[in-house]
Structure 1
Amino acid sequence: MKSPVMNQIGTVFVPVSDVEKARDWYCSILGVEPQGEIQFGHIYVLPMQGTGAVLDSKIYREGEASKVPLFHFNAEDINTAHSFIKEKGAAHQSDIQHDHYFTFQDPDGNTLMVCKC
């Protein structure tokens, strides 16, 4: 039987404590203007290309932030991206590893990654 589950990721959910602050922070690091509204008082769909990302304050639990990267953002120039994220004040930013990627934390402590594409 052919699987009814498609071989693609539709969206990734990110637990955040304050959906408005998270929307502004994520839009800032992505260089996009917020689009659309916060839905149901706790969900914001980031304006993304490709796989989507949803910020959700209803699934946030204090002290349960991911210590491993939830996902990675692509960057053509990893050095410029590293400097940019540092300027944004991201917490616990690693050095660039293997000239290919680095990790950092969002304001809620979720670990994210940027990879050279």
Structure 2
Amino acid sequence: MNSPIQRRVGQVFVPVRDMHASISWYAAVLGFEPGDVSHGGTIFDIPTEGETRLALDANRPDFSPSGPPRFFFWTDDMGATVRHLQGLGVTITSDVEDIGSVFFVQFLDPDGNPLMVCQRA
């Protein structure tokens, strides 16, 4: 079957309520210098590596963060990642789990959005 839609992700939007607090939190967790907010203070593009972009989006502050993580970040050192998250006081919601192909840990951002970090096994 053919489709004109490409199987490539362009950008992931993470809903947030307090843009400046969220930028500070993501900057600490991911290790980048905060920059400028665009679109009238409602969008912040997190610097990423690779083609897929990541944005904090404050356009709909009445969202519900329920459900599983909708994407994950990669790491090469799960132990260092967990220690980093713990040192920042991040709410970690799972133990490090080994599912064969990857190890992963889940955690929450300040708005309760479920996030995940994976390391290839």
Same fold per TM (> 0.5)? yes
Matched pairs, number: 116
Equivalent residue number for residue 57 of structure 1: 58
Equivalent residue number for residue 90 of structure 1: 90
Consecutive unaligned residues of structure 1, counting only runs of 5 or more, are none
| Offset at residue 2 of structure 1 (A) | 4.4
Distance 1:73 1:37 in 2: 22
| Offset at residue 91 of structure 1 (A) | 1.5
| Offset at residue 37 of structure 1 (A) | 3.1
Pick from 97, 102, 106 the counterpart of residue 103 of structure 1: 106
Deviation string 1:20-71 (CA, Å, 9 cap, x unpaired) is: 1111111111111123333322110111112111101112325x11331121
Distance 1:39 1:47 in 2: 17
What TM-score, normalized by structure 2, do the two folds share?
A: 0.86
Once the two structures are aligned, what percentage of the paired residues are identical? 35
Partner SS, residue 45 of structure 1: strand
CA RMSD in angstroms comes to 1.8
Distance 2:17 2:79 in 1: 30
Consecutive unaligned residues of structure 2, counting only runs of 5 or more, are none
Partner SS, residue 91 of structure 2: coil
